[in-house]
Chain A
Amino acid sequence: MAETMTYREAMRAAIREALQRDECIFLMGEDVGRYGGAFGVSLGLLEEFGPERIRDTPLSEAGFVGAGIGAALAGMRPIVEIMTVNFSLLALDQILNTAATLLHMSGGQFNVPVVIRMTTGGGRQLAAQHSHSLEAYYAHIPGLRVLAPATVEDARTMLWPALLDPDPVIIFEHGSLYNLSAELAPPEEETSLERAIVRRPGTDLTIVTQGGSLPVSLEASERLAREGISAEVIDLRSLRPLDDEAIATSVRRTHRAVVVDEGWRTLGLTAEIAARIAESCFTDLDAPVLRVASVEVPFPYPRHLEQAAMPSLERIIGAAKEVVGQHG
């Protein structure tokens, strides 16, 4: 039976379902309890599950992420909420050097089954220190699984398999997606966490994107269709590992690719994907792979400057026309 819900409600439902299914699972983070979550995801959960399962933490990312990792090592399955990826840098040492690396350093003895959820991205005038998209930092690290649900359905269904993973999982939720609303029917079969999905089929070029850049990429493809250019849009869903096969299959068919991501261009997610496409699809490419990423500036505060810095509709359409060989 289908019901309409927002991305926020879908994530809340996923957390509720997880807490109901397994008593080892609990949620911890700043303001997740009494406040209901900085973005309202855990509203009502403290009342429903109590303070042992919904735990407000002190204002110390290194401290509470470390504690979550410790809980995971001890046999619990914590969901650690870091308010945004901007603050996660304070816990980067815990995530990289403990969570991601302990399995290896212990010779396979200690798994760290922690799920860390973070809000990411800009576009809401939160200025330079609070608008980062640092998915690339985490997707760079062996030992981590990195997910980026971009649809209401993925927000609802990706959490449970992430919790079943014996190794650390990072889930990125773009701040502009929380109010996204959609009708949700229970999926017939589970989609693997590692699969990218073609959200819009096309023939002239492939747009590869993730998370918060999916809506603007889909809108760009609609505009392009009106001008006779058929763009296929791939939602990566998993940033580590990347679904190389899905990307290559598509680009071998369309012969042209544009990669869109809100991180900065240099050494970002788009750079990695462009390199992989060049490796796997070289003789099938009719044009260089183009990247549409955030302009290389600290994120501006004024709205018009912030919009100009982010991957915009105009820039995506421009890049698509460029790879297809159209002037202007």
Chain B
Amino acid sequence: MAEIKMPALGADMVEATLLEWHVGVGDVVHRGDIIATVDTAKSALEVEALQEGRIEALLINPGTTVSVGTVIATMADSVPEVPTVTPSTSGRPASSPLARRRAAELGIDLADVQPSRPGGFIGVQDVEQSRLAAPAVLPKASEQPAAVIPATEGLREVIASLMARSKREIPHYYLQSTVDIEATLARLEQRNASLPIGERILPAALFLWAIARAARSVPEVNGRFDHGFRPAAEVHLGLAVALREGGVIAPAIRDADRLDLPSMMAQMTDLVRRARAGRLRASEMTDSTITATLLGDQGAEVVHGVIYPPQVALVGVGCIVRRPWAVDGMLGIRRVVAVTLAADHRVTDGHRGSQFLQAIALALDEGVDA
């Protein structure tokens, strides 16, 4: 609501008498319209409307004398001076460039976002609000998984439910294979020696490459179980990432079997960074066809993991250790790593599982040149 005050129509004017109103209650006035005539000490002068609006109330009667600054009428629906953004004519919701960028990062459709800004367009805060409002939905056994990004607060609950369900429903069996990777690592170190630091390949990337490759050759470990096993046409390799605030998420590296080693390294690094920053896409959270969990240098030697439903296998890679080893019939010290498979016994058995682990071991050596 806007107040119309008795204006100072001359530098020395202190009061005036209202002679007549030129508008009535309910009239719409525009800037510059004459709304009243007032009598000052010197002469009769006209009062103009300074804003657009609808007259709500006339507060004094003709014949009344008031000082300059007294509220003489009120107006409703005054239009703000600052221009509002014209609504988009292309059919897309009006939004700021930053909001569009953020929505794309989060996989949020702008049509689902409520604009709250005075300009009537979607700002980045509106996108963030929309993301927090999306609840974390647990996929039921009989449903295809929904596209969700678990909110950090509910992450523990989500993991808990998922792991409990996995242990409840999936008959796990476990295989372990300890692989001598001394020669492989030596060749990797040689490859890295000629590369700038920013391009060097970590052993983790090599493990992922080998797992993705092996999943191609043993398709029974790659896919989803939903009233029977459905093998996947692609290998989207989930990578378990520990979050700083606690909890684990396992976003997917899509088409992992098609990547060369440098690409695998780049994607792995990018995914971990975005996972820890909370900037994953919805598709990355739901697309995995098989998952790997790499414990890294600080981890245990062997991991016996829990399969992420509805997948049918989880590959574990422990920390690389130096162990006494049989080398050419003599005792030597080699760097070895324990590669484990937790698999769904409804789909594979020890024989097939072993073939998968063997395929990984072979692919490790192949991968150094990829």
Report A's interface with B, CB cutoff 8 A. Answer: 255, 282-288, 290, 302, 304, 318-319, 322, 325-327
Contact = CB atoms under 8 A, between A and B. Distances in A.
A285 B82 contact: no
B70 interface: no
A288 B85 CA distance: 9
B98 interface: yes
A241 B290 CA distance: 57
Interface stretch (B116-124, B222-230, B336-344): B116-124
Interface string B39-79: 00000000000000000000000000000000000000000
> Chain B contact residues: over half helix, strand or loop, or mixed?
loop
Nearest to A281: B97
Contact of A286 (B8, B82, B116, B124): B124
A286 B96 contact: yes
The winner among A322, A326, A327 for most chain B CB atoms within 10 A is A322
Contacts, number: 40
Interface string B90-122: 000000111101000000000000001111000
Contacts of B8: 304
Contacts of A283: 97-98, 101
A285 B11 contact: no
B125 interface: yes
Contact of B82 (A255, A282, A304, A319): A319
A319 B118 CA distance: 12
The winner among A286, A302, A318, A319 for most chain B CB atoms within 10 A is A286
A255 B98 contact: yes
A287 B82 contact: no
Contacts of A326: 118
A112 B98 CA distance: 46
A255 B118 contact: no
B49 to A, nearest CB: 17
A284 B96 CA distance: 9
The list of the 10 closest CB pairs from A to B, nearest first, reads: A325-B117, A286-B98, A286-B96, A283-B97, A327-B118, A286-B124, A286-B123, A325-B123, A302-B11, A322-B82
Contacts of B116: 325
Given A290-B82, A322-B82, A325-B123, A285 B96 contact: yes
Contacts of B97: 282-286
Given A283-B98, A286-B99, A325-B125, 10 more contacts: A283-B101, A284-B97, A284-B98, A285-B96, A286-B98, A286-B124, A288-B119, A302-B11, A319-B82, A327-B118
A322 B84 CA distance: 10
Contacts of A304: 8
Contacts of A318: 82
B101 A255 contact: no
Nearest to A325: B117
A325 B97 CA distance: 15
A255 B11 contact: no
The winner among A282, A288, A302, A318 for most chain B CB atoms within 10 A is A288
A299 to B, nearest CB: 16
A262 to B, nearest CB: 19
